[in-house]
Structure 1
Amino acid sequence: MRASARRGLVAAPVAAATAVLALLATAPAQAAPPTPVSAATARAYLADLTVTPEPPRTGYSRGQFPHWAIISGTCNTREIVLQRDGTGVVTNASCAATSGSWYSPYDGATWHAASDVDIDHLVPLAEAWDSGAKTWTLAQRRAFANDLIRPELVAVTDDVNEAKSDQDPGTWLPPLTTYRCTYARAWVQVKHHYGLTVDSREKNALATALAAC
């Protein structure tokens, strides 16, 4: 299915995330976001993506993507990802993580305070806006910003997340080179699922990363 046809099929992961939350009480922490598609599948997805120059950014704000939605009780998406990606995570009555450890796959660092960890939107919100999300409804952008089903949300070192900012793989890849294959597979999966476009430099960088998998 071409990207243009998929654009109207944006899922509603916030609703589905209730089931994820229910599993947290019984399942051991997986210390990782959802496993992305295989390299072979990612290469097929990449070939299917529409390649187009990104237009000048206009009208974007993070408020266009309501994020850290309350999923159940007092638990929002950020806190759920901290529990999912961490080890030995303890939370308080407000669902905030008070202790635990978090391994950042972007740089290989381990942290013991939730304040040292950011939840990265793997495909940044601004990048999504530039590559198609500008035309979505607010509900579709909320679903994207809180997607617990695809490998879009990752607990990582805060400084590394800040260095990445809104860059795509054409200008930024994780400093831990052994994670770049996983990162590229996840990036392509998310863009393919949501019918987002890629620019030529981004596609070339992804192709190179996937060829090394």
Structure 2
Amino acid sequence: MPGSRTLTVLTVSVIVAAGFTGTALATPPGIPSESTARSELAALTVKADGSLDGYSRDKFPHWIDQGNSCNTREVVLKRDGTNVTTGSDCYPTSGSWYSPYDGATWTAPSDVDIDHVVPLADAWRTGAASWTQAQRQAYANDLADPQLIAVTDNVNQAKGDASPDEWKPSLTSYWCTYAEMWIAVKSRWNLTVNSAEKSTLTDMLGHC
């Protein structure tokens, strides 16, 4: 259940923040293989999305303190960037970020957003509306699963809260990985998928 993940996720988050090195990880953690993703997709509950009634981003507190003067956004910027250096406040002072959604590379952190792979609003519609605030906070700051990734800011904004049947990365070469990440997050947080979403994810796995 999502509640059982809260302590684990936050503990892993602190470990990641404390373990910064000069080597950037190429991808978020926990991306499953194609075969595992197909199995996880088959096991997801298929149902129509729920309502957005009552939704607010404030109900998913994010970019929380992760220790070492770092918040969640700064942890991901460090993890996903190349040759990233930071000031005493953990904010990057130099580095570069490759956005796998569109293939762009940026050298200013202000040009980079941290995308929730499965958006907060989508999570609300597919199960998170019934979670506690603590569970939603853990989800919004999940560093243990492939839920957070540094990408071009306007690409993230164009995605909004869309599911894969409504929006995909412009680089078709990333569709497989994107589908694997999306499925993993839905599986690990017990979220549902609608029929169009499941069909699209199946098609995207065909690019693996």
How far apart in 1 are the matches of 2:2 and 2:67? 28
Alignment of 1:52 onto 2:18: no
Query: In the TM superposition, what is the alpha-carbon distance from 1:8 to its structure 2 partner?
Result: 5.1
Alignment correspondent of 2:185: 190
How far apart in 2 are the matches of 1:162 and 1:189? 22
Unpaired stretches in structure 2, ≥5 consecutive residues = none
CA contact (8 A) 2:6 2:134 kept: no
Alignment correspondent of 1:129: 124
Query: In the TM superposition, what is the alpha-carbon distance from 1:35 to its structure 2 partner?
Result: 4.8
How far apart in 2 are the matches of 1:167 and 1:103? 22
Q: How does 1:1-213 map to 2 (within 5 A)?
A: 6-7=1-2, 9-12=4-7, 13-25=9-21, 28-213=23-208
Runs of 4 or more, structure 1, over 2 Å off, are 6-12
The CA deviation string for residues 151-206 of structure 1, in whole angstroms up to 9 with x for no partner, is 10000000100000000001111101100100000000000000000001100000
Q: How many residues align?
A: 207
Unpaired stretches in structure 1, ≥5 consecutive residues = 1-5
Residue identity (%): 54
Amino acid at match of 2:18: A
Judged with a 3 Å threshold, the aligned counterparts in structure 2 of structure 1 residues 140 and 88 are, in CA distance, closer, same or farther, namely: same
CA contact (8 A) 2:18 2:67 kept: no
TM-score (norm 1): 0.93
CA contact (8 A) 2:86 2:93 kept: yes
CA contact (8 A) 1:31 1:103 kept: no
How far apart in 2 are the matches of 1:134 and 1:10? 17
- Secondary structure of the residue aligned to 1:159 is helix
- Secondary structure of the residue aligned to 1:103 is strand
The CA deviation string for residues 130-152 of structure 1, in whole angstroms up to 9 with x for no partner, is 00000001110010000111010
- Secondary structure of the residue aligned to 1:168 is coil
Query: In the TM superposition, what is the alpha-carbon distance from 1:7 to its structure 2 partner?
Result: 4.9
- Aligned-residue CA RMSD in angstroms? 1.3
